[in-house]
Amino acid sequence: MKTLLNVIWLVLCGFWMAVGYVVAGIVCCILIITIPFGLASFRIANYALWPFGRTIEQRREAGAMSVIGNVIWFIFAGWWLALGHLVTGFLLCLTIIGIPLGIANFKMIPISLVPLGSQIVPSS
């Protein structure tokens, strides 16, 4: 079932969400000081391509620098990526078959807002 949902996700919205994260990652990597944000964006792009069967966990060892980085990320990139998830999730929830995909979009909003201090792990 996870594979079927992932394939439907990839076709309907996963590819476009991943492109958004890759563009944000490229912009962040062009500016030398924001390379950690670019790497986080590329990591989330991978998750946006194939989300079912994986989950997001907070890293306990993340410190104050990740909080500062998340504030900077939110200001420059996080809000528009989260808006993309919100709009896509709403549109997917308009159809019965899209409801699980819309819910998955809503679950990606927190990591799109504050990616530092989070990790993507296989779900059990």
CA distances to 22, 49, 67, 113 from 124, in Å: 28, 19, 28, 24
Instruction: Indicate whether 57 pLDDT > 90.
Output: no
Q: What is the structure's pLDDT at 12?
A: 82
45 — pLDDT class (breaks 50, 70, 90): very high
User: What DSSP element (H or E) covers 5?
Assistant: helix 2-9
Specify which residues 56 forms β-bridges with. 120
Nearest to 107 by CA among 56, 60, 69: 56
Instruction: Indicate whether 106 pLDDT > 90.
Output: yes
* Cα gap 45→68, rounded to integer Å: 22
Instruction: Indicate whether 86 pLDDT > 90.
Output: yes
| Average predicted confidence (pLDDT) for the chain | 87
Instruction: Indicate whether 6 pLDDT > 80.
Output: yes
- pTM of the full structure: 0.81
CB burial of 100-122 (b: ≥16 within 10 Å; e: otherwise) equals bbbebbbebbebbbbbbbbebee
Q: What is the structure's pLDDT at 54?
A: 87
Q: Quick one: 37 exposed, middle or buried, by C-beta within 10 A (0-12, 13-18, 19+)? A: buried
Q: What is the structure's pLDDT at 8?
A: 87
Instruction: Indicate whether 39 pLDDT > 80.
Output: yes
| 3-class SS of residue 58 | strand
Instruction: Indicate whether 43 pLDDT > 80.
Output: yes
Mean predicted confidence (pLDDT) in 106-124: 86
